[in-house]
A = this chain, B = another copy of it.
Amino acid sequence: MRATYLLGDQSVELREVPDPVLIEPTDALVEITASCICGSDLHPYHGPAVTARPIGHEFVGRVTEVGAEVSTLKAGDFVIAPFTINCGTCQFCREGLTTSCVQAGSWGRTNSTQSACQAEAIRVPLADGTLFKVDAEVDQALLPSLLTLSDVYGTGYHAARSARVGAGDSVVVIGDGAVGLLAVLSAKALGAEQIILMGRHTARTDLGRQFGATDVVSERGEEGIAKVRELTGHGAHKVLEAVGLLPAFEQAIGVARPGGTISRVGVPQYATGPVGREFFGPNLTLTGGVAPVRSYIGTLLPDVLEGRVNPGLVFDSVLPLQQVAQGYAAMEARESLKVMLRG
Residues of A within 8 A of B (CB): 91-92, 95, 97, 99-100, 162, 234, 258-259, 264, 267-268, 270-277, 279-290, 292
Q: Given contacts A92-B259, A268-B280, could you give 5 more A-B pairs where the C-beta distance is less than 8 Å?
A: A270-B276, A272-B273, A273-B273, A283-B290, A285-B285
Kindly report which residue of chain B lies nearest to residue A290, judged by CB atoms: B281
Report A257 CB to chain B, min CB distance, Å: 9
Report A260 CB to chain B, min CB distance, Å: 10
Cα A304 to Cα B9 in complex, Å, equals 67
CB neighbours of A273 from chain B (8 A): 272-273, 275-276
User: Given the known A-B contacts A100-B258, A273-B272, are A285 and B283 also in contact in the complex, defined by CB atoms under 8 Å?
Assistant: no
Q: B290 near A100 (CB under 8 angstroms)?
A: no
CB neighbours of A286 from chain B (8 A): 275, 285-287
13 A-B residue contacts at CB 8 Å? A92-B258, A100-B258, A100-B259, A264-B280, A267-B277, A271-B274, A273-B275, A273-B276, A279-B289, A280-B288, A283-B290, A285-B285, A285-B286
CB neighbours of A287 from chain B (8 A): 283, 285-287
Report A54 CB to chain B, min CB distance, Å: 22
Cα A283 to Cα B287 in complex, Å, equals 7
Report A333 CB to chain B, min CB distance, Å: 28
CB neighbours of A284 from chain B (8 A): 289
Report A207 CB to chain B, min CB distance, Å: 26
Most chain B CB within a 10 A radius of its CB, from A97, A273, A274, A280 = A280
Partner of A276, one of B259, B271, B285, B290: B271
Cα A162 to Cα B287 in complex, Å, equals 13
Most chain B CB within a 10 A radius of its CB, from A92, A274, A289, A290 = A289
Kindly report which residue of chain B lies nearest to residue A276, judged by CB atoms: B271
Q: A268 near B258 (CB under 8 angstroms)?
A: no
Q: B267 near A272 (CB under 8 angstroms)?
A: no
Kindly report which residue of chain B lies nearest to residue A292, judged by CB atoms: B283
Kindly report which residue of chain B lies nearest to residue A90, judged by CB atoms: B234
Cα A281 to Cα B162 in complex, Å, equals 14
Most chain B CB within a 10 A radius of its CB, from A275, A284, A288 = A275
Partner of A99, one of B92, B268, B283, B288: B283
